Chains A and B, each alone.
Chain A
Amino acid sequence: QITLKESGPTLVKPTQTLTLTCTFSGFSLSTNGVSVGWIRQPPGKALECLALIYWDDDKRYSPSLKSRLTVTKDTSKNQVVLTMTDMDPVDTATYYCARWYSSSWDYWGQGTLVTVSS
């Protein structure tokens, strides 16, 4: 059974750095072809892919947010960590982690709502 779960702060202040952790089970991020990514969804708005990390440690970032994002993995802990710097109220959203496999997001976490407010 494959599961993913996001964890991190629910409230951050403007200009702070957000750190989110995705803890997963049921698969290994060292398996060829497997990737884990982060997707966010502002309230009432569409999905937006932020970052993706591959089994071989290759990384992809949203072009518009690349300067603010870093994604890393700890294969031994089955975790993927996303950091986003200089948070702004417009970054208020539900943040999901999901597995990217065979050209689709096949398993998703439940999501975590992050509010940016002073």
Chain B
Amino acid sequence: QSVLTQPPSVSAAPGQKVTISCSGSSSNIGNNYVSWYQQLPGTAPKLLISDNHKRPSGIPDRFSGSKSGTSATLDITGLQTGDEADYYCGTWDSSLSAVFGGGTKLTVL
């Protein structure tokens, strides 16, 4: 059971937009930055979004993040087949540990 809650799966057609949610509490998301990771099949996770909404160099602006209260959201616009992956949110928790969501599998129909 992950500390942060994500939907197990989302799907959309190529070119469309998809939103992935991440829900936590005041012990984690409510008082800390949220980051997002993309894990393509068979590979290590890759940082997509840091500090709630910042994109590292090389990440397309099709990916955007936001946070409100104890929840965060990852938006992906202009979906491509290459975006099919598992997406994880992460943050720090007052238990003094980094935590992750359970992951969301994105299917591009």
Contacts and interface: CB of A to CB of B under 8 A. Distances in A.
Interface residues of B, number: 25
Contact of B98 (A52, A96, A102, A109): A52
Contact of A49 (B35, B44, B99): B99
If over half of A's interface residues share one DSSP class (helix, strand or loop), that class is named, otherwise mixed; here it is strand
Interface string B64-98: 00000000000000000000000010111001111
A98 B50 CA distance: 15
Interface in B32-48: 32-33, 35, 37, 44-47
Given A46-B88, A102-B51, A103-B51, A108 B98 contact: no
Given A48-B100, A60-B97, A105 B51 contact: no
B51 A63 contact: no
B56 interface: yes
A46 B51 contact: no
A47 B100 CA distance: 6
A114 B100 CA distance: 21
B35 A46 contact: no
Contacts, number: 64
Interface string A24-66: 0000000000000101000000111100100000001111000
Main DSSP-derived SS at the B contact region: strand
A62 B97 contact: yes
Contacts of A47: 37, 45, 88, 90, 100, 103
B97 A96 contact: no
Contacts of B32: 103
B45 A108 contact: yes
B30 to A, nearest CB: 14
A96 B88 CA distance: 15
Nearest to A52: B98
Contacts of B50: 102-104, 106
Interface of B: 2, 32-33, 35, 37, 44-47, 50-51, 56, 88, 90-92, 95-103
Nearest 5 pairs of A and B residues by beta carbon: A104-B35, A104-B50, A103-B33, A49-B98, A47-B100
